[in-house]
């Protein structure tokens, strides 16, 4: 019997659909058992998000400061053949529920020496979040064997407004003039190809999974235009998150005041730094072609584009 554990958290339910699509080929197999762990916070995050409530969790998310989870029961002695971590990206970081789980004692016991696949559903920026997850998995002694990413279908420019409006209103198409936010249904359905590849590998033999299973399946797509923007954003997020956390706890007046300045800074950075960095990169692209190719190959690992 091959054992698979899926650990996931989704606010809107979209990532749950992705998980269902990926695991569908594994279900109903006598030789494969799939267990699920749905993460829940002791103080649940709302959906849709109240605007300021969303930004109040910014420091804890970026600094990956664990928050209390609802108690859960798992057999930490069970030797899973594959563990799938399905997470969202918040502020260029893994969502706070997933970061909180990865800080638990159970995570250390479950993941040590186990093959792990990460499964990401997000707007478009996920590189820095995955770097943080990779670092944490290495600390826990886990082996990252695959990564699959599904992003919003409406594109970077349109999703800049459409996705936040979904978060703050709960409507995928908040207004008729906006495109529908989120991952396209056909992309979610197509994610079953990952499940079929996993199934084939699990049933091929009883040996441990040590190599990627999703190569050649377009598991990720690297947008080289966003690499520099993510790195710049991540650095500024680190500075602001430390500053805001020192001002006071979540929902405090002092942090609220600091957040007003942060939101203004964030908007200015998006309007100025992001397009300027994209323009500079485009101008220098002939000189940076080799470096860009190396960066894309690095971030595409282990599954590849």
Record the tokens describing residue 134, joined without a space: 């990779």
Percent of the chain with pLDDT over 90: 76
List beta partners, residue 117.
Answer: 84, 146
User: What is the per-residue pLDDT for 271?
Assistant: 81
Question: Above 90 in pLDDT, residue 206?
Answer: yes
Give residue 40's Cα distance to chain centre: 17
Is there a contact between 281 and 275 (Cβ–Cβ < 8 Å)? no
Position 69 scores a pLDDT of 96
Whether 157 has a pLDDT exceeding 80, the answer reads: no
Residue of 131 and 74 predicted with greater confidence? 131
Residue 288: other Cβ atoms inside 10 A: 17
Pairing of strands 93-94, 82-90: antiparallel
Cα–Cα distance measured from residue 109 to residue 290, given in angstroms and rounded to the nearest whole number: 41
> What is residue 255's predicted lDDT score, i.e. its pLDDT?
95
Question: Averaged over 271-299, what is the pLDDT?
Answer: 81
HSE-CB of 38 using CA atoms within 13 angstroms:
8
Residue 183 has pLDDT above 80, yes or no: yes
Over residues 91-108, the mean pLDDT reads 96
- DSSP bridge pairs for 7: 37, 85
With bands split at pLDDT 50, 70 and 90, how would you rate the model's confidence at 7? very high
Q: What is the mean pLDDT of the segment spanning 249-267?
A: 92
Q: Evaluate the omega torsion of the peptide bond into residue 302 and state whether it is cis, within 30 degrees of 0.
A: yes
Give pLDDT, residue 63: 96
pLDDT band with cut points at 50, 70 and 90 for residue 288: confident
What pLDDT is attached to residue 282?
75
- Decide: helix, strand or coil at residue 144: strand
């Amino acid at each position: 019997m091959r054992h698979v554990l899926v650990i996931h958290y989704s606010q809107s339910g979209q990532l749950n659909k992705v998980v269902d699509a990926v695991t569908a080929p594994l279900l109903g197999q006598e030789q494969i058992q799939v267990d699920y762990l749905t993460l829940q916070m002791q103080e649940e995050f709302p959906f849709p998000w109240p605007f300021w409530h969303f930004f109040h969790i910014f420091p804890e998310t970026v600094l990956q400061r664990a928050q209390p989870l609802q108690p859960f029961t798992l057999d930490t002695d069970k030797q899973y053949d594959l563990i799938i971590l399905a997470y969202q990206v918040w502020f260029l970081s893994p969502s706070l529920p997933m970061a909180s789980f990865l800080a638990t004692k159970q995570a250390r016991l479950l993941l040590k020496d186990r093959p792990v696949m990460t499964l990401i559903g997000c707007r478009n920026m996920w590189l820095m979040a995955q770097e943080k997850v990779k670092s944490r998995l290495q600390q826990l002694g886990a082996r990252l064997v695959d990564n699959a990413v599904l992003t919003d279908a409406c594109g970077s420019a349109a999703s800049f407004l459409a996705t936040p409006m979904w978060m703050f209103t709960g409507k995928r198409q908040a207004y008729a003039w906006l495109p529908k936010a989120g991952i396209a249904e056909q992309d979610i359905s197509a994610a079953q190809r990952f499940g079929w590849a996993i199934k084939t590998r699990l049933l091929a033999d009883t040996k441990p999974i040590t190599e990627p299973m999703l190569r050649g399946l377009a598991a990720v797509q690297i947008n080289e235009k966003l690499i520099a923007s993510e790195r710049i954003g991540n650095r500024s997020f680190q500075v602001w998150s430390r500053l805001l956390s020192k001002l006071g706890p979540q929902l405090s007046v002092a942090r609220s005041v600091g957040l007003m300045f942060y939101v203004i800074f964030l908007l200015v950075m998006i309007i100025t730094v992001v397009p300027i960095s994209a323009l500079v990169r485009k101008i220098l692209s002939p000189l940076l072609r080799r470096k860009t190719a190396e960066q894309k190959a690095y971030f595409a690992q282990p599954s590849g584009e």
